[in-house]
Amino acid sequence: MREIRYREALTEALHEEMLRDEKIIILGEDVGVYGGIFKVTNGFLDEFGPARVMDTPIAENAIMGLSAGAAMLGQRPVLEIMYMDFFTLALDQLVNGAAALPFVYGGQVEMPLVIRTQGGAGSCAGAQHSKSLEAWIAHIPGVRVAMPSTPFDAKGLLKSAIQDKKLTVVIEHKQLYNTRGPVPEEEYTIPFGKADVKRRGTDITVIATSRMVLEALSAAEMLSKDGIDIEVVDPRSLRPLDKKTILESVAHTHRAMVVHEAWRTGGFGAEIAAMISEEGFDYLDGPVTRLAGTDIPIPYSPALEPHVIPNAETIAAQIRKVLK
């Protein structure tokens, strides 16, 4: 199977869906002339024209509301919020508008709105361009949340989101855009609420999200040299969450650790840990542990930033501690 970049997988998904359905429109800051800050929509303006690929003002709350209105009236917007940090400016229109309106109107309107955004640290972008706020968004009823970790997952989840008629946020990681992986040329989608076991193991289940999946897999290779065999589960979507696959894995290994880049306090890892404790307590030989980002703003300094987010080495060290 061919291997392509994460960025290219997203571009293919958008391109294929825009060819399939003329109601799909793309809008956001710098998505047109510039081709997107991460070049996912490069060339789209020339191919599809300004009526379907629209550069917007720097006004996240306005463009979120505009997109919700367009979706209610029959369009299928794919909105890009350039950095996840800027989601904070759009939360009013998301929480009180897009997520609530199908319920408020008793199902008389639909919300076929997909929001792409970029989260995570690792590029020394500082405290205002490096956040991981997936727990904020997953907390909102009526919003589906996906965090693809591979090119295969990125394309399949984005196509699934666009083809459905549900409000969906797809969170991409800035450090994943140049990663490569196998992606079929034929049509495929990945359903929401279906986790993927990225690596089989026997000693402990590591539930990791986004870029931390790759770090967990690297930690697994490190630990295998010491005879420690870990299983890595990627939820792929946080809402809906595939409890069944996670619990089956924990029943197999009898230990669990959750790894995410977002801040530890109030992070989505706590939700996963609580679910395992509530629904899989009898499977456990020890408490569910969490490894997450340090509860401070992400430093700009290249010397400091690596110390506030998990990596393969800290994951491996934590696993050794748990299994000791």
Closest of 20, 5, 292, 34 to residue 172, by C-alpha? 5
Alpha carbon distance 6, 158 (integer Å): 12
Q: What would the two tokens of residue 235 be?
A: 């939820």
Q: What would the two tokens of residue 305 be?
A: 């930033």
Q: Which residues are catalytic?
A: 60, 129
Residue type, 157: L
Alpha carbon distance 190, 157 (integer Å): 5
Tokens 């299928």 found at: 76
- The full length of the chain comes to 324
Alpha carbon distance 130, 296 (integer Å): 12
Q: Distance between alpha carbon 8 and the CA centroid of its chain, in Å?
A: 17
Closest of 184, 190, 128 to residue 162, by C-alpha? 190
Alpha carbon distance 236, 209 (integer Å): 7
Alpha carbon distance 280, 297 (integer Å): 34
